[in-house]
Structure 1
Amino acid sequence: METLKKASATSISTPVTIETTDPDLVELSGKHSYRDGDLGDIIPVNGKKFEILDTRYNDPSGLDAMTVQNIQTGEVSIIYQGTQAHKENGMQDIITDAQLTTDTPSIAQLEASEAYYKEMDELFGVSSVAGNSLGGPLAFSALRVNPDLRCVTFNPAPAPKNYFNPEQVYRNAINFYDQHDPLTSTTTPLGMQRVPGEVVTIEAGAAIISSMGSIHTGFKEGSITVRGITISTAADDHIVTSIWTGQTLTGESSTRIDVNLKNLDILSKGLVGASNDFGLAQSYMEKSEEIVLNEESIFTMRLETMISTFNDMIEDSIYDPVLKGITRAQSAITSEVSDWLSKLDTAEQHFQSINAILNSPPVELIEHIISVDISVESLFQEARDHINKFFLEVCSLSNGIAHINEDVIPSLLSEAQNKVDDFLVNEMRDHYTIVNSNTEKVSQQIVDFGEKVVNFKEELEKRDLTSALSIKMQANAISDIVKIPGKSDFLLEESNHLLLGMKLKELVLESSFNHISNLTHILIGVPAAAIASIVGVIETAVKGISLAISKVFDFSHSISLPASLFPQFQEIEQKLKSLANSITRPLNDIGSMLGGVRDSFFRLSIYLPDLLREFKPYLDDAIFTIINYNDINVLNLFAMTQLKELKILLQDVSFQLSEHSAKSIEALGETSDLVIENLDMLTSQIKKVTFE
């Protein structure tokens, strides 16, 4: 242990002026405790200064803690660190974490933390303990010694089973949980949220994977930046406290205050702060609308990107170079088919020369002798017919792809498949127009509320009603200062857009995906399978021609010719061989192409559903660019958090101003109520355009 020797009893008992608040203790726990400060270091926290009086680092049990003093008030607090696996005795933290999930009767680190509290309390007089994560149960250990001790934790790990007396009331213990904290989301469903005292849920950060570590400690990063806007994720900034007492507001009734000039002055200043906080939410909404308007401006680009991506995926699925460009009007297949027909014509011309030989008297005599008809006049027609059919089917397929590009894909962003529009973006744009118009009204409403408080205070000063008692005694005399507000003064506009919320995005995506899936099956999948079959028929026809040629030569070896015909037949055979080579060469060229073409079309027909599944995220991105929407979602989540926190603050204001005999004060309370109503409506409108 290291202790600051200069800290005297006199300095510690300095009269309270600026008290240590729950947010102060949360910041000390989640941020400063992990920095292993040295004795005498001054820690600035929320405009206050804390001096380190003692440290206990690298204890054999794994305990890491520091004792600090609020310099202005003399309050002394012990701040316990959470799990620090990388430290010298960090393995002890891991062991302790595991033991907390059990009913182990004795845990070394908890015993060490309890002993540390006793030591510091005897030396300095400890007024509070606090901790984050593992530091939570370490702070709880002090409550076993003093159940009335103030204890503040942030995202605490659960205490061991049966650690606390179930009959004991811990009225000064409060535990803050961030609803997105990974530890909390794990322990709560398992029934492991074993903590003493009150539990308060806050929203210090949206559910952003990259900031999960920051959410758990509350301060690892402290802020995020979205589109140039810096948003605080510091936990203490999201703990709502009374503008009069600094007491944490949990939604329950707080301690009543006297309505006097001093507290009215505090209220007017607090409403200035509330207006500034609301301005943050307003700036988030304005930025969200700006993103939507930008999305609207790139509608054509999103369509073109989607079409280009779809075509690239079709092209990439076809390995054969002959078919490259099939998604465009001018593709290689047109010239390739012409080349096939030209080669077939060349082969046929050479075959006609063979026919002239086969029709000569000697050969006809041979045909007569062996009773074999080797006439080849119709061998090429079947191949030619199927090549032409292949060409027509490929043109039909290309036209189908063109139809998808020109008519189908452009309609995918609409709510109906018979027109082209930017449906979701248009809905979001029109909704945000209303939201931001309403936001401006609420902003003015809060300013108006603050002005009413100032005017009321000034009028009381004029009438020399400065104390709560004098105000109460003259309640009727001051009833004319503030009038009961009318609901129509700041009436917000209803929005008929996004009635299904952001489920609409999912519905547009699924509807559009089903639409393009059905049409691509009809316009691409079925034709591609048919074309693959046609190519197979062409292959058979070409092989048939080659087989017929081979028969011309096979018959000469199967018979014995008269000696008088043999020399003449040898000459004919040599001519036939020469012509056969001229025929088989172009046929082989055609045949070498057909296998790859057939396989490509077959593959396209088989894997088209997989291709479409790969295309779906691009469709989703075209409906609304995903990275842009993610930014909107974060802005919306933080805007709603800001409004929820402001609502909690104003609920306390309404409570403090309610049930008062002075009608003007009740009128102020009703003004606060109307602001709350509008905050609720505004929150529900923002929620419509948010994925939570």
Structure 2
Amino acid sequence: MLLTKSKVKQIKKTSDQDLVELAGLHAYKKYDKDKKFIVNRSRYVVKNISYTNINGLDAMTIQNFDTGEYTIVFQGTQVKGKYGMRDMITDIQLLNSAEPEQLKAARTYFDRMNEKYGVKSVCGNSLGGALANAVAVHHKNVRAVTLDPAILPEGMVKTNHKYPNVTNYFTKYDGLTRGELGLNLGDRFPGRIYRINSGVPHFSRAFASNHVGYNGDGPQYIEIGKKDEPGYGKIAIAADEHIVTSIWTGEPLYGGGSGQIKINKANLDTLADALSSQVLERLNRASEYIQNANEIVASEKAQRTRRLAKLQKHFETILEDGFGNSPLFKGMTTGGYMIQSVLDHLRQQLLNVDICVRAIESAIFSPPAKIAKFVLAKHLGLSGLIDQALRSVHELRHHFDQFSRNTSKIVKHDIPHLIADEATGAVDAVADAFYKHEVIVGKNHKKLYRQIEAYRKQVRETGRNFQATDVAIAVGIRSGAAPSHQSAVHSSAVAALESSKYLPYKTKTKALQVGHAKSELMIELQAKLNPIAGTIYGALTTLEGISESISGGLKFAGHAIWYGSLPTMLVAWFTDWDDQINRKIRHAMKPLDNFADTVHALKKGIAYLNAYLPNLTAEYAPFIENAIFKNDRYADVITYNGAADDTLEEMELLFQDIVHQFSGQEAKAITALESQSKKILKNIQQLHSDVQRGA
């Protein structure tokens, strides 16, 4: 595991790290009696088990071979267990003031084991944490360490009582403790509460492990991404690894740090070892997370052209769908090839109608000679309407051409701007910002690593000089001679790290870009498409009116209005002539009806579009989000940076304790180390601050 436990033998009690791992991992394994197992570097044996209590209590009593201590490990809720329903009922009962039977059973079990073995500590996770705390509030000399515990019943935790024997560790992404604190139930936890950086914000994949702090029998990490894809990696989640303790004393470094130690060669050597095993290993782990995030960013940056092409294609598809999936508008975004054919068809139909109208008028003015003097010939007056319709079709062609050109401008000019940042000149706003930021972070990591490595050598050298000086003084005292001069510790400058000026809006960078893109797209649609779509709709409405007028004129021509008083003997002649005119009228109505149907279909499609355009941006938004930076990959970048952020925060705690231990010392060498420690701490904080921007 990452956190190499201190080898200092003055730690005579089971560590918090061990108790947390026992609570979150081993408690759920249901070991048999006499089972031996190892937690970190400590050996344990199961001395007693209780898995058949009718109240749902599951617990085991274990002994730490290295310290001799006995610990009771309480198991949390097991829904699928034999008494899973009792666990669930107990969870609900914890909200009340009455003590549930399972808590009473836990205290009874403790009393029995304590009488037999002398139990020094209890631990548990979730419901098991509540069971452990229920014991600890009644036994002040028993140490309780819990991981994401459930609350205790109302009134069990006494107001203004400190409970120094209880430590509760809340993991960063646990839903239970977040909910309990959100409901203002924090006063129902006894003792101290420490938040540790275990888990990942992938609730769908890590909900259970975020709560118990472990992956059960599986590997203690969460996979990010997919194998063979850029940025694939693993984030360590084992809760005990995220408990930061003093390098020298093993005390948790929360709420004020550890007690001050004596600075001597042994403790300086301990620090030098820990700088490798705890500090630099943490820095390497943070670097691994950062590098994986960088791989994702670099991959997205390299795929800008593909992302943009997909975004443009999606816009074309969505816009064409806005016409109600009418085939008449296929290709509207790429030149309107279909609509041109449709307009050509409308024009041809009008010309066909015109030919038919002329034939009708010719027939009207050429009645049979015998009835000619009885017929009052009139012009139908349709030629002007047909000419008007032809002009309207010509204007429609212009409007549709303009619509298509404007659409092309949006696709080729405006859409690329949706993923760009004109203020900085970046063509790929989010990926470029993250990339430039991560370049600086990467350089700073390498610089900090070299500084800590040099510092580690200084600590080791200082320890050797401490011993040499001590020996020289002793020899001088015995011989009566002055001690010989000792060589100075090698010094090295700790230059300040460069601060990144990128990602000023942190992880909101993408959300702000998406918001800007949606706003800009809406403006362009309103300026370039909405007005012309309205104009087209009006032109089609006009064409519908003209079509109806022509149809009315033709139908009027079919009535017997061409004669006054016709002799009976000539009716047959008239009937034949009238039938001929009506056949021509029916012939004219076919292209006219086709024309009218096509105009109606176009108008229906434009009506759909006019209703659709205000919502087009919302329909398009998911594609914009993915084009700016693919959603799942962006989440992975944030997760990696979050893990690196957490790791650097733990490094800060360690170095704050180092500075604390060196403070107030009189030896010049230690004072110099304190100065170096402060500079490195400042650089850790700078790197942490920068990494935090992307977390």
TM-score after normalising by structure 1: 0.91
Given the alignment of the two structures, is residue 630 of structure 1 paired with residue 628 of structure 2, yes or no?
Answer: no
8 Å contact kept, 2:472–2:484: no
Please, which runs of 5 or more residues in structure 2 have no aligned partner? 1-8, 225-230, 477-482
Cα distance 1:368–1:630, how it changes in 2: closer, same or farther (>3 A)?
Answer: farther
8 Å contact kept, 2:94–2:151: yes
Map Cα deviations across residues 509-550 of structure 1 (whole Å, 9 max, x no partner): 222221111111222222122212222222222222222111
Q: 2: distance between equivalents of 1:92 and 1:303? A: 56
Q: 1: distance between equivalents of 2:333 and 2:589? A: 33
The match for 2:328 is 322
Q: 2: distance between equivalents of 1:316 and 1:49? A: 67
Greater Cα shift, 222-231 or 550-559: 550-559
After TM superposition, give the deviation of residue 134 of structure 1 in Å. Answer: 0.9
The match for 1:132 is 125
TM-align CA RMSD: 2.7
The match for 2:214 is 219
The match for 2:6 is none
After TM superposition, give the deviation of residue 249 of structure 1 in Å. Answer: 1.6
State the AA in 2 paired with 1:215. N
The match for 1:400 is 406
Map Cα deviations across residues 598-627 of structure 1 (whole Å, 9 max, x no partner): 111111111112121121222122222222
171, 175, 191: which is aligned to 2:168?
175
After TM superposition, give the deviation of residue 428 of structure 1 in Å. Answer: 2.1
Greater Cα shift, 118-127 or 405-414: 405-414
Q: 2: distance between equivalents of 1:16 and 1:447? A: 27
62, 66, 72: which is aligned to 2:60?
66
Q: 1: distance between equivalents of 2:486 and 2:353? A: 110
Map Cα deviations across residues 665-691 of structure 1 (whole Å, 9 max, x no partner): 22222222222111111111112233x
After TM superposition, give the deviation of residue 151 of structure 1 in Å. Answer: 0.6
State the AA in 2 paired with 1:658. S
Question: What SS class does the counterpart of residue 248 from structure 2 fall into?
Answer: coil
594, 598, 604: which is aligned to 1:599?
604
State the AA in 2 paired with 1:230. K
Q: 2: distance between equivalents of 1:85 and 1:466? A: 68
The match for 1:202 is 196
Q: 2: distance between equivalents of 1:164 and 1:310? A: 60
Greater Cα shift, 392-401 or 606-615: 606-615
Given the alignment of the two structures, is residue 281 of structure 1 paired with residue 279 of structure 2, yes or no?
Answer: no
After TM superposition, give the deviation of residue 434 of structure 1 in Å. Answer: 1.2
102, 121, 139: which is aligned to 1:109?
102
State the AA in 2 paired with 1:155. D
State the AA in 2 paired with 1:435. V
The match for 1:241 is 245
Cα distance 1:217–1:592, how it changes in 2: closer, same or farther (>3 A)?
Answer: same
TM-score after normalising by structure 2: 0.90
8 Å contact kept, 1:408–1:417: no
Matches within 5 A, 1:211-610: 211-220=206-215, 222-226=220-224, 227-273=231-277, 274-318=279-323, 319-360=325-366, 374-416=380-422, 421-463=427-469, 465=471, 481-482=488-489, 489-555=494-560, 561-610=566-615
State the AA in 1 paired with 2:300. E
What's the % identity of the aligned pairs? 29
Cα distance 1:409–1:375, how it changes in 2: closer, same or farther (>3 A)?
Answer: closer
State the AA in 2 paired with 1:257. I
8 Å contact kept, 2:174–2:211: yes
Greater Cα shift, 536-545 or 441-450: 536-545
Matches within 5 A, 1:620-659: 620-659=625-664
State the AA in 1 paired with 2:42. K
After TM superposition, give the deviation of residue 330 of structure 1 in Å. Answer: 4.9
After TM superposition, give the deviation of residue 479 of structure 1 in Å. Answer: 8.9
8 Å contact kept, 1:484–1:664: no
Q: 1: distance between equivalents of 2:573 and 2:604? A: 47
Cα distance 1:322–1:657, how it changes in 2: closer, same or farther (>3 A)?
Answer: same
State the AA in 2 paired with 1:216. H
Q: 2: distance between equivalents of 1:436 and 1:51? A: 45
Map Cα deviations across residues 284-304 of structure 1 (whole Å, 9 max, x no partner): 222222222222211211211
Greater Cα shift, 552-561 or 623-632: 552-561
Question: What SS class does the counterpart of residue 558 from structure 2 fall into?
Answer: helix
The match for 1:5 is none
Given the alignment of the two structures, is residue 687 of structure 1 paired with residue 692 of structure 2, yes or no?
Answer: yes
After TM superposition, give the deviation of residue 386 of structure 1 in Å. Answer: 1.6
8 Å contact kept, 2:353–2:592: yes
State the AA in 2 paired with 1:554. H
8 Å contact kept, 1:16–1:73: no
Please, which runs of 5 or more residues in structure 1 have no aligned partner? 1-14, 471-475
Q: 1: distance between equivalents of 2:531 and 2:426? A: 26
8 Å contact kept, 2:148–2:176: yes
State the AA in 2 paired with 1:224. I
Q: 2: distance between equivalents of 1:249 and 1:325? A: 66
Cα distance 1:181–1:368, how it changes in 2: closer, same or farther (>3 A)?
Answer: farther
Matched length: 667
Q: 2: distance between equivalents of 1:418 and 1:188? A: 43
Map Cα deviations across residues 376-415 of structure 1 (whole Å, 9 max, x no partner): 4334112212221221111110011011011111122223
State the AA in 2 paired with 1:182. G
Cα distance 1:621–1:80, how it changes in 2: closer, same or farther (>3 A)?
Answer: same
8 Å contact kept, 1:16–1:74: no
Question: What SS class does the counterpart of residue 223 from structure 2 fall into?
Answer: strand
8 Å contact kept, 1:355–1:375: no
After TM superposition, give the deviation of residue 498 of structure 1 in Å. Answer: 2.5
Q: 2: distance between equivalents of 1:130 and 1:510? A: 48
